[in-house]
Amino acid sequence: MKLNLVLSALIILALNSCKNAPAKYIYNGGMIHGTSYHMVYESPDGKDMQAEIDTLLKKYNMIFSVYEKESVISKVNNNEEITLAPEFIACFNKAMEISEISDGAFDITCGPMVNAWGFGPDKKEK
């Protein structure tokens, strides 16, 4: 009986001493898409993902930025020959789905309006 009590106490002590170290929070930021970004994420092993984040954001910039003349969307908008990125196709298909669901209230062809308001890559119309 005494042996069981001692073993139980040792097991409880061993389990309590094996608690994981508190997770580390990583703070990253930078510039992309003409603005700054800041993010905080939990990284149990303390790995900083800044390089991977920058790589992914630059990839998306070269797909979706209308400010980049060599981006996929800029080439599509200019009717240039381009191989569409899978991310572009997925985004386009989702946009068309939302447009259909909203009876056209969501319209991906709003570029001229955005430019007229001064938010697009072209100069503001007067």
Q: Is the whole-model pTM more than 0.85?
A: no
Domain count for the chain: 2
- Within a domain: residue 74? no
Place of tokens 């969501």: 106
Radius of gyration in angstroms for the set of CA atoms belonging to the chain, rounded to a whole number: 26
Tens of pLDDT along the chain (126 residues) come to: 666 655 565 566 666 665 666 778 999 999 987 789 999 999 988 899 999 999 999 999 999 988 889 999 999 988 999 999 999 999 999 999 999 999 998 888 877 777 788 877 666 555
Residue 55 lies in a domain: yes
8 Å CB contact between 25 and 41: yes
Range of the domain at 115: 81-126
Q: Is residue 90 a part of any domain in this protein?
A: yes
Six-digit token pair at 79? 């009717």
Structure confidence at residue 15 (pLDDT): 65
Residue 53 lies in a domain: yes
Q: Give ∠ CA 92-66-106 in degrees, rounded to 5.
A: 40
Q: What is the DSSP letter of 96?
A: H
Greatest pairwise CA separation for the chain in angstroms: 91
CA–CA separation, 92 and 95 (whole Å): 5
